[in-house]
Structure 1
Amino acid sequence: MILIIDGHSFHYEMENLCRLFFHHEKIEVRKELPPLQETPGALAVLTALRQESGTAAITVELWEPGGEKQRYCETLKGPQATDSGAQELCMGRLLFKALSQLRGFRPQWGIITGVRPVKLLRALCEKSGEDQAAADFQQIYLASPEKVQLSLATMKNEQKILERSKPNAFSLYISIPFCPTRCSYCSFVSSSVEKTMKLIPAYVELLCQEIAAAGACAGRLGLHLETVYFGGGTPTTLEAGQLNTLLKAVHTHFDLSGCREFTVEAGRPDTITPEKLKALSQNQVTRISINPQTLDDRILKIIGRRHTAQQTLDAFALARRLGFQNINMDLIAGLPGDSAAGFGHTLDQVLALNPESITVHTLALKRSSHIYQEENGESAGAAETARMLAYVQQRLPARGYEPYYLYRQSRMVGNLENVGWARPGAESPYNVFIMDESQTILGCGAGAVTKVKDPHSENLERIFNFKHPYEYIDRFNEIIARKEQVDQLYEKFNRAIRTLR
């Protein structure tokens, strides 16, 4: 399709809205409508803004193949006529209405395309109060009543966690970018052990050095560790001894006396052994994830996971026997070959295990994933996936689970969402902090991102590690040098506040 931008600078948001309805089509952005002979059979979408005499005329036109045209217009007056935010929202609503009618479905999040809808809702609440914010979410942003209520419930549970966070608190993220194999839906930079086994010993050794550098940095700045999160990849791809080495490095270089959470994503059940779980337990890991994604062996094969549903059940039982009392399980709605009935059966089986938390993701069709490249983005379909999530929202609250964090990604099936559900007290504060962007997170390892939060404002600065393990190893001196930027950023933030005083 062709998106024409005329008289405004809202091309990024208009393109994102078009992508809600045209997941796999190339969207060509132009300044003017091309001659029809150049683009036979293409849908053209015109988005135009004209300002004059204290008004702003906003127009959306659809030029369908065959020459038929549909036109949608609205005129803003008064302060809104010169408010770029109001102009963008108005144009977004017109485009959303036009494409909803053209395609015959209405995405439930309306014109909200950002990663953090709950953060937007909180800002609206602070400005106008909860009732008005909920009304605006539905009327201005066009979110469905169900998504408004889900966002409100999530926001309230997030707030309880955020209120317990202390000044100068920070979180530590450790990246283990290795997996037994790569799942077909995965777009993260992770390396299969089959190809990179030889890198792991050097990686672990250098990661311990970076952990030490991060600990020294936190000590200099007087930061207090609140959560630790080992993610990936699949951290339990490492051997038990390697896990033990890394966990002990964290205990050696950080004060964990005020730590509220120590999570390790055990992840794939085919990597979980008694020895590895004992290493976690002996190092005071308080929460683990065992992530089946589905308990249908047929679908597990389709998505490239070399384990069975029974291995998931066995790994969960093993973790319980070894004393783990806070276990999360991840599921994915919308997987190829799945159905609402099949997903419901998986969810019911997981509920029978009685985990403390369940995180339900919606399949995101990322271009770098095998599922997109090799299967042309096949999934369960938007309507079927929406039915899966409706079942989640019916079953989990009835079993005592509450939503406590929520985020969205581009190219999600049905423009839906990922939600963390937990029983009260079993939430992952780290997940809330990463979504709310309310505290510093020191990242260690390949692909990790350090996020330095200005304690005096909403400003957040990012420091990126190299993505690939081989880069991390070959250029490790640069990784250590980048840790010094954390001190420099805090000095910059504090200098700015001193200047204001």
Structure 2
Amino acid sequence: MKVICNQQNKTQEFYELARLFEQQLPENSILEINIYQKIIKLKFVNIYIKIEKKLVCLDTAAIKKEIYAILAEQTNVDLPWGILTGVRPTKIIQKLLNEGQSLESIKDTLKNKYLISNKKADLAIEVALNEEKFLSQNHANEINLYINIPFCPSKCIYCSFPSFVISRPKVEAYLVALNKEIEEMGKVLKDGYKIKTIYIGGGTPSSLTAEQINLLLTNLSKHMDLTHSLEFTLEAGRPETVTTEKLNILRDFNIRRISINPQTFSQKTLDFIGRNHTIEDIYHAHELVQKMGAFSINMDIILGLPGETISDVKHTMNCISELNPDNVTMHTMAIKAASILKQQNYQGTNPDNIRQMIDFVQDQMKKAEYAPYYLYRQKNILGNYENIGYTKPDKECIYNIQIIEEAQNILGLGAGASSKFLKSKKGFINVKGLEEYATRIDEMISKKRLLLVEK
């Protein structure tokens, strides 16, 4: 699909909405949008639709509503999130709450201004209210630390993250550069910042050896003041990488939250998507962590994996229920540009099937008394749906809330890691390549040092 607009600064935003209907439109459709004073003219070039409408208000939301109405009528598609194309719906609610608006008024805005469905409006409001008790406790001098370990045992076909199949020489060289970044950034943070949360992600951080994990955490504890931190998470997403030796090290360094991410409990699917482990590995890893008694456990699942049906999702949820983790993170498949699936031109699961899967998971979570506590969306997400983090009472991951709401400073360390600094209102992304990260480490340290001290 192609979108042409006489106001070029709005073209991309209109395109992001229009492309959500692309599968139901004729191939190579072209939407022309011409805006003149109070008149909007919409034309589909190859399906011979010409519409001219006079609008009372020509703000972007009003124009998007008209585009949505036309596309919905032509395709018979009703999007659950309406005209919203951003990744953080709850930020709108947080803004309205801060303005003192009532929940009734906020819901009315979501439904009438953004055309969000009643069910999604209720979900977004519930998440925003659950976030608020954490966001209200934020302080300007707090910062959240993200450390990226971009190595995995193998590459999953849906993954677009800059990750590399693990090899010892690459890891050793990477850790040298990472440890330097930790040391130098630690010097800056000690002058006025308190580390609130630490999140070691990737990649698969637990794919490092026990010796490498110990070295990393020793260096982190030496150069960063972690005494004020409320939460310390490490992703052990690939269950075959979890060992008692590694868990003992994590416990000794006060890591108290671990992600074990099955994604599915179908062995056929695991094999197809490139996860070289068994269902038994998931149970074994969970047992090791649970026996340790020191960790809160998160488990990720993905809805819309190739070939999966609602029956597969029901089986996965039954297994999740049996393991009873503290957090369950439900991802809806997003076909990302850098993934193998995109290269294979995978079209994804039917939106109606995705809706059934999401509804089932949400019903199961509610019955098990899990609450939705953070929510975000992605480009190219199937059915224009969402990802949701569910939690048992008082088991929320504070880091997830902070990064989604962009409500606090985030310092990203490691290749491809993103930072966000509130004082300067600027972000910074480290280079992604391993060799480039190592050779340009001093440059990245210098740039982030300036952003951290900027008033």
TM-score w.r.t. the length of structure 2 is 0.95
Q: State the number of aligned residues.
A: 454
Alignment check: 8 A CA contact 1:177 1:191 kept: yes
Question: Compared with structure 1, are the counterparts of its residues 139 and 450 closer, same or farther at alpha carbon in structure 2 (3 Å cutoff)?
Answer: same
Distance 2:5 2:211 in 1: 57
Match runs of 1:485-500 below 5 Å: 485-489=450-454, 493=455
* 8 A contact 2:421–2:452 mirrored in 1: no
Tell me the alpha carbon deviations over residues 448-491 of structure 1, each in whole angstroms, 9 at most, x when there is no partner.
1221111xxxx6211221111111112222233233223442xx
Q: CA contact under 8 A between 1:72 and 1:94: conserved in structure 2?
A: no
Q: Which residue of 2 aligns with 1:99?
A: 71
2:343 maps to amino acid? Q
Aligned to 2:425: 460
Give the aligned partner of residue 288 of structure 1.
Answer: 258
Consecutive unaligned residues in structure 2, runs of 5 or more = none
Q: Is the 8 A contact 2:255 2:295 kept in 1?
A: no
Report if aligned partners of 2:143, 2:195 keep a CA contact under 8 Å in 1.
Answer: yes
Does the 8 Å contact 1:60/1:91 carry over to 2?
no
CA shift, 1:345, in A, is: 1.4
Compare CA radii of gyration and give the structure with the larger one.
1
Q: What is the aligned partner in structure 1 of residue 36 from structure 2?
A: 50
Q: Which residue of 2 aligns with 1:20?
A: 20
Q: Secondary structure at the match of 2:335?
A: coil
Counterpart in the other structure of 2:110: 137
> Residues 197 and 22 (structure 1 numbering): CA distance in 2 closer, same or farther, change over 3 Å?
farther
Aligned position for 1:331: 301
Counterpart for residue 148 of structure 1:
121
**CA 1:198–1:75: 2 relative to 1, 3 Å:** same
1:383 alignment partner, SS class: helix
Q: Does 420-429 or 471-480 show the bigger shift?
A: 471-480
| Partner residue in 1 for 2:184 | 213
Match of 1:22, SS state, is: helix
| Other-structure match for 1:480 | 445
Whole-angstrom CA distance in 1 between matches of 2:90 and 2:65: 20
Equivalent residue, structure 2, for 1:392: 361
Question: Which string of whole-angstrom CA distances, capped at 9 and with x for unpartnered residues, describes residues 375-414 of structure 1?
Answer: x123222111111111121111221211111111100000
Q: Give the Cα–Cα distance (whole angstroms) in 2 for the partners of residues 482 and 441 of structure 1.
A: 15
d(CA) in 1 for partners of 2:244, 2:27? 59
Structure 1: distance between partners of 2:335 and 2:17: 16
2:236 equivalent to 1:266: yes
Letter in 2 for 1:213: E
RMSD of aligned alpha carbons: 1.9
Q: Does 1:75 align with 2:55?
A: yes
Q: Following the alignment from structure 1 to structure 2, what is the Cα–Cα distance between the partners of residues 160 and 124?
A: 16
Structure 1: gaps (5+ residues): 26-39, 81-85, 494-501
TM-score (ref. length: structure 1):
0.87
Deviation at 1:61, TM superposition (A): 2.9
Pair 1:113 & 2:93 matched: no
- Distance in 1, matches of 2:8 and 2:415, equals 39
Please tell me whether residue 2 in structure 1 is matched to residue 6 in structure 2.
Answer: no
Q: Relative to structure 1, is the Cα distance of residues 191 and 24 closer, same or farther in structure 2, using a 3 angstrom cutoff?
A: farther
Identity %: 35
- Shifted more, 466-475 versus 424-433: the winner is 466-475
Report the more deviating stretch, 382-391 or 471-480.
471-480
In structure 2, how many angstroms separate the alpha carbons of the residues matched to 1:380 and 1:45? 26
